[in-house]
Structure 1
Amino acid sequence: MSQPLKKPVNVRLKSTICHPNVDKEIFDIQTTGELTLKGNQPYLVYEEIQDEKVVRTTVKLGGKSALILRSGGVKMRLPFERGELQNGSYDTLYGTLMITTNTTHLHFEDGHFHVEYELLINDEVAGTYTLELFYTEAN
């Protein structure tokens, strides 16, 4: 069995969040990470600081389905499948909150991942999200 191919990358994360009756929030973060290829499946792993806590994010990249796993300061599982409702979870101080994603757009090509989705809590839209990841090989 061969070892996964790993290479360091520079990552830019651009996130737009629209909650009902609230101004749009835009986050633009630059960090470094690692792109791993296990077989034909690419994974992007990077860390960011949120509320003074380190959050480790793993993105299973794909064009029809994708998965974001976050651990550390935030623990979350966000699955995406275009045109399908997917169940995920978000851990809070008070327990695990079950969430649902309704993916309206999902696109992946080498160096760029783009997903647009509605986040539902108890069948109510809590917000619409656009997430773009750009990554380039680090020198």
Structure 2
Amino acid sequence: MEGKLKVAVRVRSQQRAKNGERMTFRTESEGMLYQKGDVLYISYREGEEQGLGQTLTTLRIEGRRVTLIRQGETVMKQSLVKGAEQTGTYKTPHGTFELVTRTSHLVVNMGAQGGTLDALYNLRLAGDKSRIELQVEVKPL
């Protein structure tokens, strides 16, 4: 694919903490979808309402691996691979923390014109454990 495609990105993330507390986050924004070799990239901005400051989020999809990269006030890199434990980092103004994901469900149906991503994973961050359901929908504008 040559160039970048302007897309609408809709993200729904539901987090269930170990104590049973549930939090749901929804983001809808404009973004860009582009491909470099066999790797597909989706980038979009998340705003203050997610508590991330102004953050540029990039999804990097390569084969069976999805890497979520956030750059802004907080910097995070986490990978999702079905059936595997992955280690990443979460940097905040208060310090850097290791995060670990174990993905039990990952279905990626994404191509040059958009598509969907559906994941279910356990997240361990600074000793706290939670379960995350993530759904991403990307459509051309």
Which residue identity does 1:48 align to in structure 2? E
Q: Is the 8 A contact 1:80 1:101 kept in 2?
A: yes
Q: Is the 8 A contact 2:38 2:62 kept in 1?
A: no
1:131 corresponds to which residue? 134
Post-superposition, which runs of at least 4 consecutive aligned residues in structure 1 deviate over 4 A? Answer: none
User: Which one of 118, 122, 125 corresponds to residue 122 of structure 2?
Assistant: 118
Give the deviation of 1:27 after TM superposition: 1.4
1:87 corresponds to which residue? 87
The alignment's TM-score, normalised by the length of structure 1, stands at 0.88
Q: Distance in 2 between matches of 1:52 and 1:25?
A: 15
Q: Is the 8 A contact 1:16 1:131 kept in 2?
A: yes
Give the deviation of 1:52 after TM superposition: 7.2
Q: Is the 8 A contact 2:42 2:59 kept in 1?
A: yes
Q: 1:131 to 1:40 in 2, by over 3 A?
A: same
Which residue identity does 2:132 align to in structure 1? Y
Q: 1:54 to 1:85 in 2, by over 3 A?
A: same
2:64 corresponds to which residue? 64
Q: Distance in 2 between matches of 1:106 and 1:52?
A: 25
Q: Is the 8 A contact 1:118 1:125 kept in 2?
A: no
Give the deviation of 1:21 after TM superposition: 1.3
2:99 corresponds to which residue? 99
User: Which one of 21, 28, 31 corresponds to residue 33 of structure 1?
Assistant: 31
Count residues in correspondence.
Answer: 135
Q: Is the 8 A contact 1:63 1:108 kept in 2?
A: no
Which 5+ residue runs of structure 2 have no aligned equivalent? none
The alignment's TM-score, normalised by the length of structure 2, stands at 0.87
Give the deviation of 1:94 after TM superposition: 2.8
Which 5+ residue runs of structure 1 have no aligned equivalent? none
Q: What's the CA shift string for 1:111-132, capped at 9, x where partnerless?
A: 101111101246x561000111
2:13 corresponds to which residue? 15
Which residue identity does 2:108 align to in structure 1? F
Q: 1:4 to 1:125 in 2, by over 3 A?
A: farther
Q: Distance in 1 between matches of 2:39 and 2:30?
A: 20
Q: Is the 8 A contact 2:74 2:93 kept in 1?
A: no
